[in-house]
Structure 1
Amino acid sequence: MTAPARSVPASTRELRVREPVAVVLLMALTFSTGVADAVGYLGLDKVFTGNMTGNVVILGMGAAGAEDLPAVGPACALAAFMAGAVVGGRLVRGAAAGWSTRVSALMAAVAVLLGGCALTAASVAGVGEDPAATVAVAALVAVAMGLQAAVARHVAVKDLTTVVVTSTITGLAADSRLGAGVPQPWARRGVAVGLLAAGAAVGALLLRLHLAWGLGVSAGITAGVALAGHLWARRAAHGR
């Protein structure tokens, strides 16, 4: 007799479909971060809103006496990013890793924050020129990026943090045939690097129209990701 097929627990079944979908969603957020970072660096007085490594380096060079480097903006962005990450970490505390309706809701909050920044940049004179207004908007974008990074970390897809690709590039090179020569998800890693760069290019082009355009596009992408993730999570929960 043929052994009866064992039923797969819902949690396992969800896990099998989780990562491919989560990869696509996090890839989109990586592109969105590239847009936001380009807006921050080129339009908000050389402030990285997603890549905190850049801000730390700028602050270090400024501390050594390098001229023409901002200090207040990067410092505020760094603190704001950490605050957003703290909130994100707190809100996913105790939840199972992976994309869920909670993650979708938090990504929607990121989209709202970015959308608010876009509206502020469009309606308030001086954003990008007035130091106080510029730092305020940059800090709010950094809060959104910190929240996004903490939630993406909870989703736990290797090599996709959405805000930085240094470790991804390291893995791509170190695991290559010229390096350790071990199997690696080279396509995922390469696409993640390319998408961050493409997002930065798009952000730089959108700055030619207005500062608000890049932030608006980033907000729209994040909102789309939140909606798609929510619909997918509902479908996965029903086993379809």
Structure 2
Amino acid sequence: MTLPPDQDSAEARRAAPRRRRGVVRAAIVVVFALGFLCGAVGFVGFLSQLRSGELKPASKADGIVVLTGGSSRVADAIELLAAGYGRRLLISGVHPTNGVSDISRTLPDSQRLLTCCVDLDRSAVNTRSNAVETRRWAHERGFRSLIVVTSNYHMPRAIVELSYEMPDIELIPFSVIGDKWRDEPWWTSGPTLRLLLSEYVKFLAAEVRVWLAEIGIDLMPEAGDTADTRKPATASN
């Protein structure tokens, strides 16, 4: 049955908004799907940068810097210093109340190295300020190469920040592998998966901030990374 012209026009007017809403919903779904796909691909790329085992640096460097906050970072950095991989060690992000004596209590065999060849940075409160303080230290001492010691999941972001602050200095990563990482695959552990996802988001934020800074737009560090969450620097930090 054919509708009268006026009814046909009314039906068409009612159908037009429904079609528009359908197009908008489809576009939103496509955008979210593409965003999820890009995020998943990026996460896989991020994971591919993480080492699953500790490998000694391929070469020696002028200095060593360790970013506090993860399992056995300081102890591993001092082992590298003792083995002659660098002339001096900077421990960046030490709690303001800590001194060399606090660290030496947990590393009694390293007293001589701690006294002669270790510098403490108590100013850094996040990865960006770690990079700023490391740049000052390295430039003051005329260093042209550094071994960077931090946890494997933190290394990609640390290299982004350090490379931006010190494009003239060669960076040699030394990734520290925590016990939890060794004991079980990351995808079977909820806390480890959440840690990796959080670090991936921070890594992306650091890359965006650095890119913007390179074109003249300097942003403050992300809010979630500016709080002073430093722990006392011991062999297990």
TM-score by length of 1: 0.28
Larger radius of gyration: 2
- The structure where strand makes up a greater share of residues is 2
Q: Which has the higher helix share?
A: 1
Q: Which has the higher contact order (CA 8 A, sep 6+)?
A: 1
